[in-house]
Amino acid sequence: MAGLYIHIPFCKSKCSYCDFYSGVQGSLTDKLVDALQHEIRLRADYLKGDELQTIYFGGGTPSILTHRQLSNIFTTIATIWDIGKCTEITLEANPDDLSAEKLKELSELPINRLSIGIQSFHDEELSMLRRKHSAQQAVEAVREAQPYFQNISIDLMYGLPGQTISGWEHTILQALALNIQHISAYHLTYETGTLLDRKRKEGRIVPVTEEISVAMYYLLQNRLKDQDIKQYEISNFAIPGFHSRHNSSYWEGIKYLGIGPSAHSFDGESRQWNIANTLQYITSIEQKKNYFEKELLSTTDKYNEKIMISLRTIQGISVERIEAEFGTQTKQKLIQQSERFIKAGIMFLDNNHLHLTPEGLFLSDGIITDLMQE
């Protein structure tokens, strides 16, 4: 089984927190779609005959593509893989793109899951984040999408400057009131070069304290747990049966092919990433020039990646699998390194799996770094 990721790098405008590769060159959409189709054909053998299980259109803002453009991409995919065997086909969308007409068009395509970037149900927070929709538009977009899609995820953000715990609780409760299947909730990170990072450095905004951030995370975990929406990864929660199969493939080490500018691919032994420049990507594809870089993964790389992706999940790390793949000495060293986290109450060993506690999940970045090999 394998996954296919397609990166659409266009946005109407750049959000103040975003450091993903994206731009506003909307005039290039047709040329990009042509290049995407060409790359799909060029890399038809990358997955070595594995059956395609998931497709994910990410960005950027994939929902700005027209029905014709999306249909053309699906037509090309279908010449290589049996789309009918895909259990999950996701399209990321913004609320302001999801008109009634757009939703009907999307429902006519093989897409069976929408991931809607809402971020907040407070207009002042949306304005600060430079989102193009209002809180009311977000609510209406979800409700209008529900007759067409039975698998809907929304993205939320917390730890925003000026955000209060009561305000965050309002956003959580509004999300729950929509009866959706999946929630991804991310703490704001001040990425270098973003507008919010510049404002922070200039003293124009003040980040929330770590104490408030932790309280917001626990509030999120508890409110969703009360509604039987189960956490399965640091930032991801779903009702039973509706976890993101595509994103889970990343955390489980399953092969995936990435198409488009800045897209990454993994075949089990190496990683490959495309050039992060839309025009150069298109030109390179057209002129049959090299458009990607590649690296073979060492044993240390594979081990560190296993630690990083496994500890993000509720399932944790199988120490038996570590032993099978990296040897008994490596397993014993991992258990030894984990003892101080276990004693601190932020990690536990159960049924031969190392897991992070709810507090440990919030502190996962530091724990994962400490457990990696140099």
Q: What is the CATH number of the domain that holds 342?
A: 1.10.10
Tell me, yes or no, whether 194 and 309 share the same domain.
no
Q: What 3-state class would DSSP assign to 179? A: coil
| Residue 281 resides in a domain | no
Percent of the chain with pLDDT over 70: 98
Residue 259 has pLDDT above 70, yes or no: yes
- Segment 131-152, tens digit of pLDDT: 999 999 999 999 999 999 999 9
| Residue 277 resides in a domain | no
Look up the domain containing 318 and give its range. 299-371
| Residue 259 resides in a domain | no
Tell me, yes or no, whether 220 and 341 share the same domain.
no
d(CA 369, CA 373): 9
Q: What is the mean pLDDT of residues 63-88?
A: 96
Residue 19 has pLDDT above 90, yes or no: no
| Residue 312 resides in a domain | yes
Residue 25 has pLDDT above 70, yes or no: no
CB atoms within 10 A of CB 92: 20
Sign of CA dihedral 122, 166, 361, 114: negative
Tell me, yes or no, whether 231 and 349 share the same domain.
no
- Segment 260-298, tens digit of pLDDT: 999 999 998 999 999 999 999 999 999 999 999 999 999
pLDDT of residue 16: 84
- Segment 153-187, tens digit of pLDDT: 999 999 999 999 999 999 999 999 999 999 999 99
pLDDT of residue 26: 65
Q: What is the mean pLDDT of residues 29-33?
A: 95
Tell me, yes or no, whether 308 and 184 share the same domain.
no
Nearest to residue 232, comparing CAs of 326, 132, 315, 329?
Answer: 315
pLDDT of residue 20: 65
| Residue 198 resides in a domain | yes
- Whether the ω angle into residue 60 lies within 30 degrees of 0, i.e. cis, is yes
Residue 246 has pLDDT above 80, yes or no: yes
Tell me, yes or no, whether 218 and 332 share the same domain.
no
Whether 298 contacts 44, CB under 8 Å: no
- Segment 298-321, tens digit of pLDDT: 999 999 999 999 999 999 999 999
Residue 23 has pLDDT above 70, yes or no: no
Tell me, yes or no, whether 211 and 332 share the same domain.
no
- Segment 318-357, tens digit of pLDDT: 999 999 999 999 999 999 999 999 999 999 999 999 999 9
pLDDT of residue 22: 65
pLDDT of residue 11: 85
Tell me, yes or no, whether 228 and 312 share the same domain.
no
Q: What is the CATH number of the domain that holds 106?
A: 3.20.20.70
Which of these three, 193, 228, 250, is where a domain ends?
A: 250
Tell me, yes or no, whether 180 and 67 share the same domain.
yes
Tell me, yes or no, whether 161 and 303 share the same domain.
no
Q: Structure pTM?
A: 0.93
* Total of domains in the chain: 2
Residue 83 has pLDDT above 70, yes or no: yes
| Residue 268 resides in a domain | no
Residue 13 has pLDDT above 80, yes or no: no
Residues 6+ apart with CB under 8 A from 107: 148, 149
pLDDT of residue 295: 95
Tell me, yes or no, whether 162 and 237 share the same domain.
yes
Confidence of residue 21 (pLDDT cuts 50, 70, 90): low
Helix (H) or strand (E) holding 258: strand 256-259
Tell me, yes or no, whether 105 and 10 share the same domain.
yes
Rg, Å, the chain Cα set: 21
Tell me, yes or no, whether 303 and 173 share the same domain.
no
Q: What 3-state class would DSSP assign to 322? A: helix
| Residue 270 resides in a domain | no
Q: What is the mean pLDDT of residues 254-262?
A: 96
Residue 213 exposed, middle or buried by CB count within 10 Å (0-12, 13-18, 19+): middle
| Residue 143 resides in a domain | yes
